[in-house]
Structure 1
Amino acid sequence: MAQWLEVAIRSISFLTILFIITKIIGKRQIAQLSFFEYIAGITIGSIVAEASLARERSIMDALIAIGVWGIIPMLADYIAMKSKTARSVIEGHSTVFIKDGKVLEENLKKEKYTIDELLSLLRKKDIFSLSDVEYAVLEQDGNLNALLKKDKRPLTRSDLQMPSVNEKEPYTVIMDGHLLVDSLAKSGKTKEWLDQELEAAGVTIENVFIGQINSYGELYIDLFDDQLQAPAPQERPLLLANLKKLAADMEIFALATDCEKTKKMYERNAADIQRIIQQATPYLSN
């Protein structure tokens, strides 16, 4: 067998084995790997590189070595799941860097972090002032999580006593100018509805780079031609505007009539519509 062909076959074989082992271990990012997964990955890579090029090496020996090193992280994960003590040894534990707004210098030294590195980690979280931080902890994977002080946190709907808005995941129904039939069916929309929306926007499906249906049932489209701007969905703002117009009409009718009974009816209807507007505004505003 030609040398180049043997090297190619060995490389493809080992690449396939590595792919299988990676799928078994899981989809962790590099920063999320445990100590055993990290050293096993480096070792397996070295074994594969040498076995692919060293023709005098037995393929069976390489497979046994890869198998042993592939079992190590899986065995370590199993032990870590069964024992909290083992989990602390294998995966480590989190370390508090800031508590009650105070930097814990001893913990920084323990983890061999400088204050500059701490500031850098905070900046990655869009935090540029230590005085804004109430609590910060370094997780086992090396990521820093920080809790801002109460007066430094962004406002939420609950802070403003506004009703919460539950949103579902969007459905991608058009990709690269092609209709995704299964996704369209899951969204609860029909092909006829999609055609009407595209016609209203003045585009054809072939011109759409990506199209999504959001949790409100509206179609968002992005076109291949970046110079063209697709119109934004107007159903919700239009409905809100019609409700406001209806409330205003009720108030006008109440002022225009001399019948007290009719006036009270119009005023009552106007008040009911205003309550509906107040409740629906968070859902109908873009």
Structure 2
Amino acid sequence: MHYGSIFVETLFGFVTLFILTKVLGKTQIKQLTAFDFISALILGELVGNALYDKEVGILEIGFAVLLWGILMYITEFVTQKYKKSRSLLEGQPSIVIHKGKLQREIMKKGKLDMNQLLHLLRSKDVFTVQEVDYAILETDGTVSVLKKTNFQTPTRKDLQLPLENVELSFMIINDGEIIYDNLTEVGYDEKWLTEELKKQQIFSVQSIFYAEYSKSNGLYVQKA
């Protein structure tokens, strides 16, 4: 009975947290602020501790998760509705490099040392602060970088080259399975795909690990 109750409560907690994540939106994962991080920890604690507490059942778990979810939703609503609350609840971006100069006081306020800053810059393919004109510490802990003009990558506009249409590649086969939605999106059917695979001497979809299609490059296939 003990293992059965753990199973039921775990399954219930999983489904509840999954629904809560869908309701709150992707920003809870992608733009993880300090407040969001604490919220995730508390949600995990609420469910995790309840699993091994014999006096806590599904109703208690559901109530705790629902209550915390409502509080998080209200917080998100407040930050969207009232702009002045965003700096308090979400924080504000900080300029840590301004016109090529390190802003030491701002770095101290953000608890950011040079080793951490250099690590964040390297994640943006910047290996020296001498290349940076502006660097902004975002609320989720990442750094946005604007390089000095001498170090910026030239664009087609800079080189005065004619514009080209941007094309999106679609995954057609994933681990031996056809992605029919993407196949329809590119305007073809399974019969066309079979013929294209035969041209590459491939006669079984199951033997393909990955395949993608774009108008400019055609069908690219990698076998398993």
Same fold (TM over 0.5): yes
**Structure 2 match to 1:8:** 7
Identity, in percent, stands at 32
Q: Which runs of 5+ in 1 are unaligned?
A: 225-286
Listed one character per residue, the Cα deviations across residues 39-59 of structure 1 (whole Å, up to 9, x for unaligned) are 332222222222211112354
Q: Distance in 2 between matches of 1:101 and 1:120?
A: 17
- 1:161-180 correspondence to structure 2 within 5 Å: 161-180=160-179
Q: Distance in 2 between matches of 1:184 and 1:31?
A: 28
Deviation at 1:78, TM superposition (A): 0.2
Which one has the bigger helix percentage?
A: 1
Question: Cα RMSD over matched residues?
Answer: 2.2
Query: Does 2:216 align with 1:216?
Result: yes
2:33/2:141 contact within 8 Å kept: no
1:165–1:29 distance in 2 versus 1, CA, 3 Å: farther
Q: Distance in 1 between matches of 2:14 and 2:197?
A: 45
**Structure 1 match to 2:184:** 185
Q: Distance in 1 between matches of 2:192 and 2:30?
A: 45
Q: Distance in 2 between matches of 1:189 and 1:62?
A: 48
Deviation at 1:166, TM superposition (A): 1.9
Letter in 2 for 1:75: I
- 1:27-66 correspondence to structure 2 within 5 Å: 27-28=26-27, 30=29, 32-66=31-65
1:146–1:11 distance in 2 versus 1, CA, 3 Å: same
Question: What secondary structure does 1:172 align onto?
Answer: strand
Q: Which runs of 5+ in 2 are unaligned?
A: none
**Structure 1 match to 2:139:** 140
Deviation at 1:93, TM superposition (A): 0.4
Q: Distance in 2 between matches of 1:11 and 1:110?
A: 41
Q: Distance in 1 between matches of 2:164 and 2:44?
A: 48
Q: Which moved more, 1:6-15 or 1:135-144?
A: 6-15
Tell me the number of residue pairs that the alignment of Structure 1 and Structure 2 aligns: 223
Letter in 1 for 2:145: A
Deviation at 1:208, TM superposition (A): 2.7
Deviation at 1:29, TM superposition (A): 5.8
- 1:112-261 correspondence to structure 2 within 5 Å: 112-206=111-205, 207-216=207-216, 218-224=218-224
Q: Distance in 2 between matches of 1:200 and 1:63?
A: 56
**Structure 2 match to 1:75:** 74
1:112–1:215 distance in 2 versus 1, CA, 3 Å: same
Letter in 2 for 1:80: T
Q: Distance in 1 between matches of 2:28 and 2:71?
A: 18
Higher Rg of the two aligned structures: 1
**Structure 2 match to 1:98:** 97
**Higher relative contact order at CA 8 Å, sep ≥6: structure 1 or structure 2?**
2
1:223–1:118 distance in 2 versus 1, CA, 3 Å: same
Q: Distance in 1 between matches of 2:112 and 2:137?
A: 10
1:31/1:142 contact within 8 Å kept: no
2:34/2:140 contact within 8 Å kept: no
Letter in 2 for 1:120: H
Listed one character per residue, the Cα deviations across residues 66-122 of structure 1 (whole Å, up to 9, x for unaligned) are 222111111000000011110111101000011111111111111121122211211
Which one has the bigger strand percentage?
A: 2
1:69–1:218 distance in 2 versus 1, CA, 3 Å: same
1:168/1:215 contact within 8 Å kept: yes
Deviation at 1:203, TM superposition (A): 2.3
Q: Distance in 1 between matches of 2:47 and 2:179?
A: 40
